Structure 1
Amino acid sequence: MSGPCRGAGARKPVAGLLLCRFDPAGAQTCCAPARRSLLKDPDRRGLSKNTGSYIMPDQNASPAPASDRIATIARLNDALRQNLTLPGHNRVVMTIGVQELIGDVSLFRNFHAQAELLRTIRDYDDFGPDVDPHGERDFGRFEFRGAALYWKIDYYDRTLDFGSPDPADSQVTTRVLTILLTSEY
């Protein structure tokens, strides 16, 4: 299953979502302690080796095969899931229904529930043709505390105004992982 954010005219995330994100410098922007990004080797495609400035890619270069492109998207999606508490320029959001399922995270038991939920998504590996027909590892469904939930990853441009021009390119894509109840889909 693929998200709605495939083309240039895709919509912004739904209003009313809890937004947890960090800027690349590691400054806290909301609901969790500030930490530095674990990204050790940033993607430097397009940088000149001599000057470090951006250069135009070769317009005549042939595009990567579809299987390489899908593998790159899957790798980037897995990287987001493995770093849910440190998403860098990506975002992790949950709907009101999921917030109500977890409860007030200022209470330890509910903070523990949120950590358990994020761990469940991080460790998710039930990808099959019915859940992940395109092989991008951008969707999952699971049970949590007796409720059926989905997580899904959509691809936006860096301003979150439109769909990403190339989900396989982390320089132009912001991934948004949304956690929602199946009834909210």
Structure 2
Amino acid sequence: MRALNDTFRRSFSGGRLMLTAGVAALPEATRTTLLMAVRGFERFDANNDPHGEHDFGAVTVDGVRAFWKIDTYDSELHGHSPYPADLPVTVRVLTVMLAEEY
């Protein structure tokens, strides 16, 4: 799970990237820098990654605090994937939101 989540987060390829309204409304330069911070996030520890799956993080860019979260859905996006490590039956969705939107 960790390797699959890291690969997706670092590339935004192989899944879907969702931005909340607050993130989408940021100035383009701030939004771009924020997304680069999500891609480069490596500060995982027992507090933010208790299961070792690298599926959540928090970043601050230009005074903007944001959270990101990776969820795994079935291939139809009807519910959570029954086998998150099985790529053909799983769609990864990375959501980036402002902390105040949580």
Q: Are 2:66 and 2:96, in contact at CA under 8 Å, matched by a contact in 1? A: yes
Q: What is the aligned partner in structure 2 of residue 120 from structure 1?
A: 37
Matches within 5 A, 1:1-185: 73-84=1-12, 87-88=13-14, 90-100=15-25, 102-103=26-27, 110=28, 112-185=29-102
More strand by share: 2
- Answer with 1 or 2: which has the greater Rg: 1
More helix by share: 2
Q: Which amino acid aligns with 1:142?
A: V
* Helix, strand or coil at the partner of 2:89: coil
Q: Which amino acid aligns with 1:131?
A: N
**Identity of paired residues, percent?**
42
What are the ranges of 5 or more consecutive residues in structure 1 without an aligned counterpart? 1-72, 104-109
* Helix, strand or coil at the partner of 1:183: helix
* Helix, strand or coil at the partner of 1:116: helix
Q: Which amino acid aligns with 1:75?
A: A
Cα deviation digits, residues 67-115 of structure 1 (max 9, x gap): xxxxxx000000101212xx23x10011011112x23xxxxxx2x3333
Distance 2:58 2:30 in 1: 18
What are the ranges of 5 or more consecutive residues in structure 2 without an aligned counterpart? none
Q: Are 2:30 and 2:61, in contact at CA under 8 Å, matched by a contact in 1? A: no
Q: Are 2:68 and 2:97, in contact at CA under 8 Å, matched by a contact in 1? A: yes
Using the size of structure 1 for normalisation, the TM-score is: 0.53
- Corresponding pairs, count: 102
* Helix, strand or coil at the partner of 1:137: coil
Cα deviation digits, residues 22-58 of structure 1 (max 9, x gap): xxxxxxxxxxxxxxxxxxxxxxxxxxxxxxxxxxxxx
Distance 1:128 1:82 in 2: 18
Give the aligned CA root-mean-square deviation in angstroms: 1.2
Using the size of structure 2 for normalisation, the TM-score is: 0.92
